[in-house]
Amino acid sequence: MILNRAPLALFPFPNTRRESFTLNITGQRNNKIALISGPGAVAEMPESAITGAQAGTRGGFSRHCQHFNGNTVMGKRSAFKRRPLDTYDTPEAAVAPLLGHLPLWCRFWEPCAGQLDLVNHLERHGFECVVPSNIEPRDERVFRLDALATCRSDVDATGATHIITNPAWSRFILHPMILHFSAIRPTWLLFDADWVHTRQAARYLPHLRKIVSVDTSRLRQWFDKSVSWIDPREVAWCGAFVATCHRKALPGIELPKNSLGARNWQSWGQEVKPVLGATLVFWRGSKAAWQGHVGFYHAEDKTHFHVLGGNQSNSVNVTRIAKSRLLSARWPRGEQVTCKPVLVASNGIPISNNEA
């Protein structure tokens, strides 16, 4: 996905199982239909009449009977006019950063396959797409299917280990997809990186584990001007990430003299108890050394803080850092502390010992 103003990122959402209604899917290619049936009444209706999210609340069922229209061409956040369904193509450059994060045995479902761009890019590197589908296919090899009307047993039957897709940008579609897909399989979604810094993203961040920048030049463009001169490939950028987040939230906020130095945040703002949103400063290597790490309090378990930060395995993600490494928790000076600690289980989030 190529955007004019925002950096691009890959967002993985781990599988967070929940119960769902049962659907049985049979599909045929070559312009034919995908039949979706389940408990309760079975209804036939046009695709525009109901979404998968709505179907899920009713207990399930729809039958998609419209023929494939190969002339559908979509664009978004670009020079092209926005069209229904927010479909767009995926350049190979946007897929390359994902390759190192996928296990060799990855077999994936692509639920927004369009004309198979993302599928073709990944299959050239040895990964197998077990089902390409789309609510409005643009290739005869793609199943016509409303992804939000599927459930875990449907995906189990395909043998897919992951869900990987370039989803619709429209938030009323994207947000249900985050919740729905992450309940079924570990999921990678490709969309604009500035989403993670918006208020609307807050309720979905607990599902987020990692952000992988597709293009570091776009990351530099996103950085606050005080740190935009650095090359993230050469310079540790956890401080740059924190500085930029603060400036995005409070444009006039004063930053440490050298915000790139993680331990310089130890005297910034006012000291507080660790709470949601607080800036956490950690020692790295040894407490007596100069090296450190800085990020945001996301949650905590009995022994570790769950930290949302940059330059964590060379990406933005939530990782666990031992509480014994904490030097200080900080809050913008003059701003009221309105948040509280968030207690969670470890939930399989990897423990970080070195954020370089």
% of the chain at pLDDT higher than 70 = 72
Q: Cβ contacts of residue 140 below 8 Å, gap of 6+?
A: 29, 30, 31, 68, 70
Is 254 found in the same domain as 112?
Answer: no
Q: Tokens standing for 35?
A: 């039949």
More confident position, 131 or 90 = 131
Is 252 found in the same domain as 172?
Answer: no
Residue 276: CB atoms within 10 Å: 16
| Predicted confidence (pLDDT) at residue 41 exceeds the cutoff of 60 | no
Q: What is the mean pLDDT of residues 136-142?
A: 89
Q: Is the separation of the CB atoms in 283 and 291 below 8 Å?
A: yes
In a domain, 213, yes or no: no
Q: Tokens standing for 343?
A: 């207690």
Is 243 found in the same domain as 120?
Answer: no
What CATH number does residue 271 fall under? 3.90.1720.10
| Predicted confidence (pLDDT) at residue 54 exceeds the cutoff of 60 | no
Is 58 found in the same domain as 147?
Answer: yes
Q: Is the separation of the CB atoms in 282 and 311 below 8 Å?
A: no
Is 265 found in the same domain as 175?
Answer: no
Average pLDDT, the chain: 76
Confidence (pLDDT) at 120: 93
Q: What is the mean pLDDT of residues 42-63?
A: 27
Phi-psi region of 218 (alpha: psi -120 to 50; beta: other; left: phi over 0): alpha
Find the Cα–Cα–Cα–Cα dihedral 63, 65, 71, 77, rounded to 10°. -20
Q: Is the separation of the CB atoms in 118 and 96 below 8 Å?
A: no
In a domain, 321, yes or no: yes
Is 195 found in the same domain as 255?
Answer: no
pLDDT digits (tens, 9 = 90+) for 226-235: 998 888 877 8
The segment with the largest mean pLDDT, out of 164-168, 226-230, 274-278, 286-290, is 274-278
Is 283 found in the same domain as 191?
Answer: no
Handedness of CA 148, 306, 279, 192 (dihedral sign): negative
Is 197 found in the same domain as 228?
Answer: no
Confidence (pLDDT) at 191: 83
Is 161 found in the same domain as 58?
Answer: yes
Tell me which residue range forms the domain holding 96: 8-204
Is 175 found in the same domain as 77?
Answer: yes
Going from the C-alpha of 322 to that of each of 48, 205, 335, the distances in angstroms are 50, 21, 27
The structural domain count of the chain equals 2
In a domain, 217, yes or no: no
